[in-house]
Structure 1
Amino acid sequence: MKLYISRIILGVFLLFAQIIFAQNLSKSQFKVKGNCEMCKERIETIAKKAGAKEARYSIDSQTLTLETGSNISTDEILKKVAEAGHDNEKFKASNENYESLPECCHYNRELQIQTTENQKHNIKKENEFYVKGNCESCKARIEKAAKDAGADSAEWNAEKQMVTLDFDPAKTSADKILKKIADVGHDNEKYKSKDNTYKNLPSCCLYDREIPFGEANPKVHAEEGEKYEHSDHGDHNSDENEKHIEGVTVTGSKAATSLNKKEAGLVFNIDRKELLKAACCNLSESFETNATVDVSFSNAVTGTKQLKMLGLDQKYTSLTKELLPEIRGLASAYGLNFIPGRWIESIQLTKGGSTVTNGYESITGQINTELLKNSEKPETSLNLFSDFNGRAEANITSVSPINEHWSQTFLLHGNGTFGNTDMNDDGFLDRPKGTQINAAYLLNYNDLEHSGLGSHFGINFIKDNRTAGQTAFDKSLDQNEQTAYGVGIDISRFQVWNKTGYVFKGKPYQSLGWMNQYVYHQQDSFFGLRNYSGKQHTYYSNLIFESILGNTNHKYKAGASFMYDGYEEKYLVDNFKRNEIVPGIFAEYTLTGLKYTLVAGARADFHNLAGTQFTPRLNFKYDFTPQTTLRLSAGRGFRTANVFAESQQYFASNRNIQILQNGGNIYGLKPEIAWNYGASLQQEFKIFGRKSTIVADFFRTDFQDQVLVDLDRSPQQLTFYNLEGKSFANSFQTQWDFTPFKNFDVRLAYKYYNVQADYLDGKREIPFMAKHRGFVNLAYSTNKNNNGGFWSFDTTLNWVGKQRLPNTSTNPEEFQLPTYSESYAILNAQISRNFNKKIRAYLGGENLTSYYQKNAIVDFKNPFGNYFDGGMVYAPIMKANLYVGLDVTF
């Protein structure tokens, strides 16, 4: 009993002590700059160590709320916070302490801190409220949301970042209206939009969330082709939009191609501004102003282009659309022509091993294409294109919202090549004639804010017919009646896909996504007297769960995938059928530290023909300083070779095909396995008073059981077999991007490749791969006039060193090729005029140096003879070609 009473007395005493102690605490708020969750954790930890009883930091309002005792000085706490690198309203961090922060924590130092006391004295009218936004799309969205919430009228001012409301208090309230505005993605002085809602805004609408309310947004009215103030470190590089704050002049510009500094891997983001620098009629032409990807003609008859990366063929790069497998299997040869350039919203290019969540086939990297699908108001665009050699095309794109949650996209493309182009007078068309009809429909649902659901649906149909060969070829005649050599390619392709995601309520870091796709691809073709046809059915499914371990510094993904490929091929009289069934599981862990990011993943795939395959991958990024970043990567990949579909460039010849089987289950061959290792160093600095970046990277790829395509055993034979020995590709690239003066961007690059393999008769360099390559891109645009009009000028010079050519020494002397080709240079250029925001016209030229391979076809006079070969192409086969185009937006 006494013990019970004593416990009650002790409890009462402690309660009174707590009340007395609490009365001696004081609460205060201060403005402190920060960016992310790491900033929040650092600021709160420092404040508590400095004596604060409680410390709560809000990233949104940039305020630190402190609870302190009477014997603790808030000045001392704020001083410690500044010493940790965070500017605040009383103390400024030293440059050294600021720059020692991780890259993601670098807030904008040039924007003045508005103290909590100053905020109380802001002068604004009773019906005016701060709302963040950027552009005309933001203005339309904010005003519509306000009216939907009951406002009689609403006018948003981009410069003041303020909305003026007129409403009947009996019907609605300012709170209700501002809540609705936040619901559509715009932070305001009373409500913050959810992260997922903000991130789903169009890229032009992504305002700076760190700018305190009441300060001008430096990104306001930034549009395509226009310089604007923003950079990761507050380095702004635009004379036109200079900003003078605290005696500092800062300038900046938006890069059309940018290296994602937050990714652990080497990831480049290519936006529509970059794609508009060249003709960009399809994906194969989207990289003509990019130094990372090499674009070349695959042969002299079909005129198709192929990509190469890190010194290896396109088949070793994972080519995806909407993060779903796209150009692979039977589509390998011509798939680049099936994604029109005007359909592309952006491209993400990853060098080296990519994430394991996207599959096992990526060896040299991944190229992902995102289609147009983001718009807050209806927008329809028409593109017309024609060159001076009989090629014409038209594109219609329409993106529009249906209601608050649904939006849709219509994409239509048609092209035709009608002229007989034979610039080298060899009697063969330099590019095929024919037509393509390509249509797609995308439907998007976004209700992440309320239900946590989002979904994307797409459907695409393509019909492509091409005729090539000798100019005298008559496609109306039966193949057996032809006297001229002809090539016919007829492709039908249908695909449907869906991606659905769910974000768990109250857990924005936790989500579940499910992707599904079905593809049907059929090709019927002939090359002279040779027939090749194939059908492919593919079903792909990928389920991904993402969450954290404790906090957002420890993230993980886990999931399962399934791939089914059904192939039916016929070459001459031989039939090849197989079904590949590949269930798989994977997991990936991301660790984010103060200066580093580590992404480690692995997957296991259970291939019914290739056996169980284990695929580990690792990416590591370390920021020595905010301007110096080191990246390391290593990973494994595997793939099954489609030897016929991937080697169609050699079908336009009289080579006999031979497969040296070794007991594998796919054409008698084993799957290809490769390890890729990479390192890159990124250095930023200022030159001419503007931001400049140099990136140097080195990658090595080592193969096991590579399927070699041997063109050297005999000029009359094409031999496939698995590697016995070593095969490697070393790739070195250095690239320098800088802006010597306003509106003028320069990109310089040099690439070195060393690619060798142990063939059956000894080690040799891989053919058609230049060891040395140089690249120069110059881009200039004028300032916009009052109507939004401006001129743009762009030119790209590619220099390609000598390449080893296949051995033709056993041919008669007149049909022999030299051991190495000549080096050559190609110059492309384009001039465009934006008359206003709606109309753009452009004029350009390709291969303006007019260098072309004069003897692109071996023994072209006798295409049915033993020595005929149209696959020995190392350079362009067409001289200079001019084109014109028009873009109109409604």
Structure 2
Amino acid sequence: MKLYISRFILGLMMLSVQFISAQNLSKNQFQVKGNCEMCKSRIETAAKKAGAKTAVYSVDLQTLTFETDSKTSADEVLKKVADAGHDNEKFKSTDETYKGLPGCCHYERDLQPNPAQAHQQHAKKDNEFYVKGNCESCKARIEKAAKTAGADSAEWSAEKQTVSLHFDASKTSSDKILKAIADVGHDNEKYKTSDAVYKNLPGCCLYDRDIAFGEANPKVHFVEETKHANHSESQPEETSGNHDQHEKKIDGVVVTGSKAATALSKKEAGLVFNIDKKELLKAACCNLSESFETNATVDVSFSNAVTGTKQLKMLGLDQKYTSLTKELLPEIRGLASAYGLNFIPGRWIESIQLTKGGSTVTNGYESITGQINTELLKNAKEPETSLNIFADFNGRAEANITSVSPINDKWSQTFLLHGNGTFGDTDMNDDTFLDRPKGTQINAAYLLNYNDLEKSGFGSHFGINFIRDERTAGQIGFDKNLAQDKQSPYGVGIDISRFQMWNKTGYVFKGKPYQSLGWMNQYVYHQQDSFFGLRNYAGKQHTYYSNLIFESIIGNTNHKYKAGASFLYDGYEETYLTDDMKRNEIVPGIFAEYTLTGLKYTLVAGARADFHNLAGTQFTPRLNFKYDFTPQTILRLSAGRGFRTANVFAENQQYFASNRNIQILQNDGNIYGLKPEIAWNYGASLQQEFKLFGRKSSLVADFFRTDFQDQVLVDLDRSPQQLTFYNLEGKSFANSFQTQWDFTPFKNFDVRLAYKYYDVQADYLDGRREVPFMAKHRGFVNLAYATNKNDKGGFWSFDTTLNWVGKQRLPDTGSNPAEFQLPVYSESYAVLNAQISRNFNKKIRAYLGGENLTSYYQKNAIVDFRNPFGNYFDGGMVYAPIMKANFYVGLDVTF
């Protein structure tokens, strides 16, 4: 016992010594010129040789942050850095030393003067300081406060979160100006506003007080320079009796990146999650269907046993009720519904915005359960080309090349190329059917961007995309080159060609940054030729979409509005067996949306009217309301209506590989004889942020209900040999409850826990039943850990996700022979995915992962697989994984 006590006391003494030593260190930050990783290494090495205890150089910020003790001065460190070839605030390198640096290290030698020296001169000088804010109201308040405090001019940038000051140093100071800015409610790098003043700002001005500045959302830490002062130095009267005082002053700002991989926006009135590339790298993420493996909001169904397709589900309803857009343009809909998720490679994605519940009316009328928007790579300050290579242990391989480069100060371009192939015969459950299709895809896109918003007010974005996808599935041994009736193995063939072209152009009115005009246009051609055994399905789709949006204010920025008009044309040609079906949908529409921002609330109310040539005039109102009880406690309410036309063949291809005959019970509608689908969605959510283990933590609970006014029901229960479509007569609803907790127990370790409850029921022809393949209970755990970066920027990261899925109601197969019957409910199961990645530096990353590490798989994925042309064959009854554990490797290289 005495030994443990002595060790404990010794440990305390060592910690005390370290603490006292740390108190005697001075932290400094200075401007130092450099270009690359070689510069970073050279500068940090020189600083440490000069006596700096720590040294961190940022190439992006052009700053060196270092700690020194009483034996070493900042000047000594900066002199040593200059001797190594790097100009800084106090010393300049010799021309000879500079010229001797490697070519990649030759920086521009137009260094700004030392701010401390310039401050001593009685002359006007431009200064830039970090200041927090949100909107135009913030801008006006900040600039007015600065001028009141003596600044000759002041310009605040919302994008950079900085204020540029021009003042006469003999009449005022930056400290005085920044103090005045803090007094009116805006935190900055030297002063923090009081809670009372901050809470009295208008709701639109309530910025995040934990996350600071710039596009990467870095955190700003106030750095204190500590000097020992003895009794002889002048001290304030109240401290003159002390023999050892600490004189503290803020000497600089240390900026460190801290952007969350998935973040719930606190500004939006709706429940909007922003997902960036960091989140997508946590899993294989070969395409959009795999981009949500680490996301608790979206449920991803497992691949169909015959066609290999995956579908998303949100709020307990199928993917077709969620608006899936790319660059805010309609994307995965119509004939692309079944396979469209495979057409957006994961490495092409820059970010994803996921909205639960009713979204804005400006993006159309089809959103019922929410919207998922994908933004492609198109932003880069410097040319950047990346190569990604991926392969799994069962014959799947992929390659991606992305290149983003500025052409000049206004133009930039992006080249995107993707290719994948599945070549192996994978049959883990020994049913003679491939667990996933074989085939190839070639996918190429080119993006051209123009940005001159600051000068002329114009910006434009152009894109073009071509896809060729060929898949073969079915029994092992099937030959796609032979007709199905010429061979005994059952086969599936799916060939898709897709071409699209789009443009978005915007204009911001001069002197009115709150007023803009935007126009979006897109053309899509989609063709599919496919067969499922002896059944054939083919389709062509031509789509033209146009959307014009005008945005401005009423009086001030607390009252904003949007108004505009849209046009949608869909031309469909479909063939199923011997039936040819054609239709044209023509939909002009108008819309308006009003945003009211109060002290603690935001209200967004919108409505649109669409004049559908086949579905009639449809009115779509939507409302989102956010109330901030405190900056950490936020309540949201939403309500809205949406409608869509059902593409019953394209959206249900997973059931084509079966013996089911398709029957449509027409109901005097104009689309397959059916009426359009109309639903109301209502939601409420509560977001609470708090500190746990001294770190930021958040808890979100939400409830959504969807009530269908009209719905096209997909009835799998009337007979195992029949697939029936008909309009709802009665009620159909989906209740969704989710709670999610994100926290960080310790540095670099993130935990995400979630629970979901679904109650989804509909009145079918023979009574009310639960909708099949929808688990009432789901659990989710995601753990992510990363090591600290080394001197070269390298680190390890570890990610694992556990999904628990409760029992699901299965379609009624009671009339089948006993050996071909499914249970009424499936069993519950868990799926574990994990990945380890190694970043060797900023340029090279390797990763190794495993999917379904629990190796749980559905043993009866295909009913009567021995007789695929018989009455009981059915490949659409999938509720769980059909493949056991699968492992993959990948490599990312950036040039």
The residue aligned with 1:700 is: 705
- 1:337 equivalent in alignment to 2:342: yes
Alpha-carbon shift at residue 299 of structure 1 (Å) = 2.1
Give the Cα–Cα distance (whole angstroms) in 1 for the partners of residues 827 and 189 of structure 2: 65
Q: Give the counterpart of 1:682 among 677, 687, 692.
A: 687
Give the Cα–Cα distance (whole angstroms) in 1 for the partners of residues 848 and 166 of structure 2: 58
The residue aligned with 2:68 is: none
Could you tell me which amino acid in structure 1 is paired with residue 320 of structure 2? K
How well do the aligned residues superpose, as a CA RMSD in angstroms? 3.4
1:774-814 per-position Cα deviation (integer Å, ceiling 9, x unaligned): 00000000111111111110000000000000000110011
1:320-358 per-position Cα deviation (integer Å, ceiling 9, x unaligned): 001000000000000000000011111000001111000
**Do the aligned residues in 2 keep the contact of 1:375 with 1:399 (CA within 8 Å)?**
yes
SS of 1:450's partner is: coil
- 1:764 equivalent in alignment to 2:864: no
| Alignment map for 1:361-376 (pairs within 5 Å) | 361-376=366-381
Give the Cα–Cα distance (whole angstroms) in 2 for the partners of residues 104 and 855 of structure 1: 55
Q: 1:802 to 1:32 in 2, by over 3 A?
A: closer
- 1:512 equivalent in alignment to 2:612: no
Q: Give the counterpart of 1:105 among 191, 197, 205.
A: 205
Q: Give the counterpart of 2:430 among 410, 415, 425.
A: 425
Give the Cα–Cα distance (whole angstroms) in 2 for the partners of residues 367 and 784 of structure 1: 33
Q: Give the counterpart of 2:351 among 323, 346, 350.
A: 346
Q: Give the counterpart of 2:879 among 864, 874, 878.
A: 874
Count of matched residue pairs: 735
Alpha-carbon shift at residue 405 of structure 1 (Å) = 1.3
**Do the aligned residues in 2 keep the contact of 1:489 with 1:523 (CA within 8 Å)?**
yes
Give the Cα–Cα distance (whole angstroms) in 2 for the partners of residues 469 and 802 of structure 1: 28
**Do the aligned residues in 2 keep the contact of 1:32 with 1:64 (CA within 8 Å)?**
no
- 1:553 equivalent in alignment to 2:653: no
Q: 1:332 to 1:55 in 2, by over 3 A?
A: same
Q: Give the counterpart of 1:540 among 539, 545, 555.
A: 545
The residue aligned with 1:576 is: 581
The residue aligned with 2:858 is: 853
Q: Give the counterpart of 2:603 among 595, 598, 616.
A: 598
Alpha-carbon shift at residue 105 of structure 1 (Å) = 3.5
The residue aligned with 2:79 is: none
- 1:300 equivalent in alignment to 2:400: no
| Alignment map for 1:267-286 (pairs within 5 Å) | 267-286=272-291
Alpha-carbon shift at residue 847 of structure 1 (Å) = 0.4
SS of 1:552's partner is: strand
**Do the aligned residues in 1 keep the contact of 2:203 with 2:598 (CA within 8 Å)?**
no
1:262-308 per-position Cα deviation (integer Å, ceiling 9, x unaligned): 11111111000000110000000000000000001252111111100
The residue aligned with 1:460 is: 465
SS of 1:667's partner is: coil
The residue aligned with 2:439 is: 434
Give the Cα–Cα distance (whole angstroms) in 2 for the partners of residues 298 and 885 of structure 1: 22
Give the Cα–Cα distance (whole angstroms) in 1 for the partners of residues 401 and 197 of structure 2: 52
**Do the aligned residues in 1 keep the contact of 2:190 with 2:250 (CA within 8 Å)?**
no
Could you tell me which amino acid in structure 2 is paired with residue 887 of structure 1? D
Stretches of structure 2 lacking an aligned partner (at least 5 in a row): 1-126, 168-176, 226-247
Could you tell me which amino acid in structure 2 is paired with residue 542 of structure 1? N
- 1:653 equivalent in alignment to 2:658: yes
| Alignment map for 1:90-169 (pairs within 5 Å) | 93-99=193-199, 101=201, 105-106=205-206
Q: 1:455 to 1:56 in 2, by over 3 A?
A: closer
Give the Cα–Cα distance (whole angstroms) in 2 for the partners of residues 92 and 880 of structure 1: 53
Give the Cα–Cα distance (whole angstroms) in 2 for the partners of residues 657 and 107 of structure 1: 55
Q: Give the counterpart of 1:842 among 822, 847, 856.
A: 847
Give the Cα–Cα distance (whole angstroms) in 2 for the partners of residues 271 and 813 of structure 1: 49
Alpha-carbon shift at residue 38 of structure 1 (Å) = 3.6
**Do the aligned residues in 1 keep the contact of 2:862 with 2:873 (CA within 8 Å)?**
yes
1:531-574 per-position Cα deviation (integer Å, ceiling 9, x unaligned): 00000000000011111111111111111000000000000011
Give the Cα–Cα distance (whole angstroms) in 2 for the partners of residues 688 and 53 of structure 1: 43
Give the Cα–Cα distance (whole angstroms) in 2 for the partners of residues 47 and 57 of structure 1: 6
Alpha-carbon shift at residue 95 of structure 1 (Å) = 3.3
**Do the aligned residues in 1 keep the contact of 2:279 with 2:294 (CA within 8 Å)?**
yes
1:451-488 per-position Cα deviation (integer Å, ceiling 9, x unaligned): 21111111111000000001121212112202111000
**Do the aligned residues in 2 keep the contact of 1:768 with 1:805 (CA within 8 Å)?**
yes
**Do the aligned residues in 1 keep the contact of 2:475 with 2:491 (CA within 8 Å)?**
yes
**Do the aligned residues in 1 keep the contact of 2:303 with 2:882 (CA within 8 Å)?**
no
Q: 1:512 to 1:215 in 2, by over 3 A?
A: farther
- 1:884 equivalent in alignment to 2:889: yes
1:511-545 per-position Cα deviation (integer Å, ceiling 9, x unaligned): 11111100000000000110000000000000111
Could you tell me which amino acid in structure 2 is paired with residue 268 of structure 1? F
Could you tell me which amino acid in structure 1 is paired with residue 769 of structure 2? R
Alpha-carbon shift at residue 406 of structure 1 (Å) = 1.1
Give the Cα–Cα distance (whole angstroms) in 1 for the partners of residues 883 and 332 of structure 2: 26
Q: Give the counterpart of 1:624 among 611, 614, 629.
A: 629
**Do the aligned residues in 2 keep the contact of 1:295 with 1:308 (CA within 8 Å)?**
yes
Give the Cα–Cα distance (whole angstroms) in 2 for the partners of residues 32 and 413 of structure 1: 41
Give the Cα–Cα distance (whole angstroms) in 1 for the partners of residues 421 and 188 of structure 2: 62
Could you tell me which amino acid in structure 1 is paired with residue 854 of structure 2? T
Q: 1:215 to 1:493 in 2, by over 3 A?
A: farther
Give the Cα–Cα distance (whole angstroms) in 1 for the partners of residues 340 and 502 of structure 2: 17
**Do the aligned residues in 2 keep the contact of 1:468 with 1:486 (CA within 8 Å)?**
yes
Q: Give the counterpart of 2:613 among 604, 608, 612.
A: 608
Give the Cα–Cα distance (whole angstroms) in 1 for the partners of residues 152 and 662 of structure 2: 74
**Do the aligned residues in 1 keep the contact of 2:221 with 2:253 (CA within 8 Å)?**
no
SS of 2:347's partner is: helix
Could you tell me which amino acid in structure 1 is paired with residue 616 of structure 2? G
- TM (norm. structure 2) is 0.77
**Do the aligned residues in 2 keep the contact of 1:499 with 1:516 (CA within 8 Å)?**
yes
Q: Give the counterpart of 1:723 among 728, 745, 755.
A: 728
SS of 1:715's partner is: coil
The residue aligned with 1:388 is: 393
Alpha-carbon shift at residue 446 of structure 1 (Å) = 1.1
Could you tell me which amino acid in structure 1 is paired with residue 619 of structure 2? F
Give the Cα–Cα distance (whole angstroms) in 1 for the partners of residues 199 and 153 of structure 2: 24
Q: Give the counterpart of 1:635 among 603, 621, 640.
A: 640
**Do the aligned residues in 2 keep the contact of 1:33 with 1:107 (CA within 8 Å)?**
no
Q: Give the counterpart of 1:785 among 787, 790, 807.
A: 790
Range that drifts further, 780-789 or 290-299? 290-299
- 1:448 equivalent in alignment to 2:453: yes
Give the Cα–Cα distance (whole angstroms) in 2 for the partners of residues 375 and 326 of structure 1: 25
Give the Cα–Cα distance (whole angstroms) in 2 for the partners of residues 696 and 55 of structure 1: 49
Q: Give the counterpart of 1:410 among 406, 415, 439.
A: 415
Could you tell me which amino acid in structure 2 is paired with residue 254 of structure 1? K
Give the Cα–Cα distance (whole angstroms) in 1 for the partners of residues 204 and 728 of structure 2: 45
Give the Cα–Cα distance (whole angstroms) in 1 for the partners of residues 577 and 837 of structure 2: 48
Give the Cα–Cα distance (whole angstroms) in 2 for the partners of residues 430 and 346 of structure 1: 31
| Alignment map for 1:34-53 (pairs within 5 Å) | 35=133, 36-39=135-138
Percent pairwise identity: 85
Could you tell me which amino acid in structure 2 is paired with residue 710 of structure 1? D
SS of 1:648's partner is: helix
Could you tell me which amino acid in structure 1 is paired with residue 195 of structure 2? N
Could you tell me which amino acid in structure 1 is paired with residue 283 of structure 2? A
**Do the aligned residues in 2 keep the contact of 1:383 with 1:886 (CA within 8 Å)?**
yes
SS of 1:368's partner is: strand
**Do the aligned residues in 1 keep the contact of 2:484 with 2:490 (CA within 8 Å)?**
no
Could you tell me which amino acid in structure 2 is paired with residue 528 of structure 1? G
Could you tell me which amino acid in structure 2 is paired with residue 702 of structure 1? D
Range that drifts further, 864-873 or 54-63? 54-63
Q: 1:732 to 1:362 in 2, by over 3 A?
A: same
Q: 1:98 to 1:395 in 2, by over 3 A?
A: same
Q: Give the counterpart of 1:863 among 848, 863, 868.
A: 868
Q: 1:37 to 1:377 in 2, by over 3 A?
A: closer
| Alignment map for 1:168-179 (pairs within 5 Å) | none
- 1:266 equivalent in alignment to 2:366: no
Alpha-carbon shift at residue 503 of structure 1 (Å) = 1.1
Could you tell me which amino acid in structure 1 is paired with residue 198 of structure 2? Y
Stretches of structure 1 lacking an aligned partner (at least 5 in a row): 1-28, 67-76, 113-132, 135-202, 217-242
Could you tell me which amino acid in structure 2 is paired with residue 663 of structure 1? D
